[in-house]
Structure 1
């Protein structure tokens, strides 16, 4: 799956990170871990493109995480096809063919049911909601020197049983 993404003109420091977010299949204000895990519709590869310059303007990360067209995701694979993430799906992120992240979902701190149960204590989760989970080590901006995305780079997020999400990075002037 190809999704073209642009670097906004106000943010030159962009990084990409692979994630495997669950998508909720049913709504509920709060629920138990078991019920929450059973409510997951499916999973997809997600490229967490973050505008690091914008993110550093405040102590809250929201500003850097919500740039226009900055969260490519897909395709959605149903939960019954994927199975339990605790059994382990390999998560890899490559930039221009070089592996920069290589992890496994079995290393997640919280299982999906626990994660969704905790979140639903604060937010009402509705059908179709997507939760971007954690990411393996290897984030570009914490490297020495920092590794930031530039127009022309290609980010690939590959997750076992979910496929490869390929994201060419383009300048803001090249956006459709």
Structure 2
């Protein structure tokens, strides 16, 4: 009886390992996202915004994004509301230049990509964290002039594989 339990535990452990390991598609997306971060040409598509008070909302990843093309950044937030907003999409779009780029990978495989964005309507520190087994990521936008931090969940993809709709910039 004890040997039967032991062998069934081994089978269960093998099944768990099989389901917990990333598949080749996830690893391919991760490699593409990592290469895009290294090249500084990527889009972080947001599907969830978390505010300072802990309230979160789901948003369209087509109209909510952080786009980086070498030294130019576009940050756009757009809510599905009847109000047109500054960008014509129910939110705001800001553009600027980046500086002080830092990229590092910790012991657990999480890659952190940090930069400062400065331009019309924006002066903030942006930190992106790429998950170690796929292209899912989080972003934290911390304005330099107040403490109203914005947390975003989404995924990173190369610029040429991303689909976004950009509104009018400030």
Specify if TM > 0.5.
no
Structure with the largest fraction of strand:
2
Report the TM-score when normalising by structure 2: 0.33
Give TM-score scaled by structure 1 length: 0.32
**Structure with the greater alpha carbon radius of gyration:** 2
Higher relative contact order (CA 8 A, sep 6+): 1
